[in-house]
Each structure stands twice: as structure tokens, then as C-alpha cells.
Amino acid sequence: MHDGNPQDRYSADVLRPGWREVGRTVIPSQDATAGLVVEEVATGFCGAVIRIEKSVVTLEDRHGKLRLFPLGGGFLIDGRPVVLAAPARAASRKPARTASGSLAVSDAPARVARGSRIFVEGRHDAELVEKVWGADLRIEGVVVEYIEGVDNLEELLAEFKPGPTRKVGMLVDHLVAGSKESRIADAVARGPYGRHVLVVGHPYVDVWQAVKPERLGLTAWPDIRRSIEWKHGICEALGWPHEDQADIARAWQRILGRVRTFADLEPQLLGRVEHLIDFVTVD
């Protein structure tokens, strides 16, 4: 029995609750959500989560190589250790949302198509808009059409004849000051259909860049010289096949496959598409 001397090194109860945790580092748990980029410590393999099956996670690196690892410890995120866990199922009472973040409307039939349209420059733009905003657009009855560039936009508008109930929203790639695209947009705004046409754009060379690079395990999209066709240059820089159009198409499907919701896209695209939807659906 001790006398209460504060210097008595045996005065503390070494078996008090929590004694095993003293000095122990607690490693946080992290849900293995799709697109999350992690590094497996033992092998050094770094890749994005693409699926969870039972207690196994599949990672895909920037070259498209797949590796399977058991969930649990032994992973790093930005150099910090984590315990990778299967995401908990969302509570059934939580309102379902579309990929764009809107509240989902269950069993709602698609609306008869409006006279208004959203035009986009290419097939990839159309596929990305459909994947994220498709459910919303069907509810609103808005059709998205790709027109393969903006050079003939004024002629298309003259044929379409926009009006109060036939509005046109146009999403343009690389709409920056002084560009060809900006000059076309200005001409349309001053033209006979300007009141019923809205041309907006994002600053990226191609819509591929509107996908957050982290979703592909990148810190940033590679810089490509102007003398090189951009998509071919991107595939070459990432070590992907790029010999023909079929290779480019496969590269885009790889990128599009990493997009699950609006959170996978850059804000510069999100705001523009939302603006267009509002424009063509407000009577």
C-alpha cells in the first residue's frame, strides 16, 4: 500500500481501463467508394477503386491494370495509412437521388419531348450529359443533340428557328476569350434568334478534361502541345493505345466509366449544364 507520495512510481493502476491503448496510433477507417485512389503498401500498387465484391477490392491503375486486394489495413491515401472498408449501405429511408444530385422521382414516365433542345459539340459530350443528367432531362422532356462542332451553328439555328417554345441551349468546348468559339457565340447572341438561344461553355480543350483527374488516378491532366491532336496526345501521355479512332473510343469509355455522379465532374462544367437546363425548361 502506498503513502500517497506523488513520486511513487507504483501508485497508478497499470490495469486501469484503456491501458492497452496508451501510445497506440489509431488508423482511421475509409469507405472504399468508387473512384477513390489508394496505394497498397506491400506491393506499392496505386489505383482507383472500381468495385467491391464481398471482402475484396479491385483497383485499376493509370495504365488500366487491375489488381485485387483484401479489404482492411495496409493501404495509403495521400501517404497516410487507412483501413479500407466496404461502404455501408445507405439507410432505406434516405431519399434517392439521380446522378446529378436531384431527388429521384420513382416510376415517373418520361415527358413528351419539348420543342426546346440542348445542343452539344460531339458524341462524348452527349454521352457525359446523358450519364449525369439523363434522368432529369427525361423528366423535363429535353432532348440533347450533338452537332459535331459549332462552325455551322448559325445555319443550324436558321433551320431550327428558335422561339419562345423552341429554345436552344448550346454547350461549347473551350469557350474562352478571343477563341473562334467565343466569336461564334457573340454572333449568335446578336443574331435574329439571340433572345431564344443561350450559348455557354467550359474552358477545357475537350470535355474529357471536365472529368476530375483524380478519378483516373492523376493529379492533373497532361499538358499536350498544340501541334499534337489532343485526344491522341492524352492517350499517348497516359500510356494508352492511340493508333486509331477505335483506340480513342475505348479511352473515352474508360474515362466515362469512372463517372458515377456530378461529384466526379469539374464545377466549370456542372454550372454550365445546369444553366442550360434551366434556360430551356423555364417557359
Residue 139 has pLDDT above 70, yes or no: yes
- Say what the pLDDT of residue 140 is: 85
pTM above 0.75, yes or no: no
pLDDT of 88:
76
- Please give the average per-residue pLDDT across 215-222, as a whole number: 93
Give the mean pLDDT of 93-113.
61
pLDDT over threshold 80, residue 81: yes
Give me the chain's average pLDDT, please: 84
Q: What is the mean pLDDT of the segment spanning 162-185? A: 91
> What's the pLDDT band for 78 if we cut at 50, 70, 90?
confident
Mean pLDDT for 142-156 is 89
Average pLDDT rounded to a whole number, residues 231-248: 94
Under the banding of pLDDT at 50, 70 and 90, the label for residue 104 is: low
pLDDT beyond 70 at 95:
no
Q: Binning pLDDT at 50, 70 and 90, where does residue 10 land?
A: very low
| Interval 147-170 mean pLDDT | 91
pLDDT at 35 (0 to 100):
82
231-255: average pLDDT? 94
C-alpha to C-alpha distance for 266 and 201, rounded to whole angstroms: 13
Q: What is the pLDDT of residue 21?
A: 53
Q: What is the pLDDT of residue 196?
A: 95
- Mean pLDDT for 167-180 is 90
Residue 9 has pLDDT above 60, yes or no: no
Which residue is associated with the grid cell 413528351?
Answer: 112
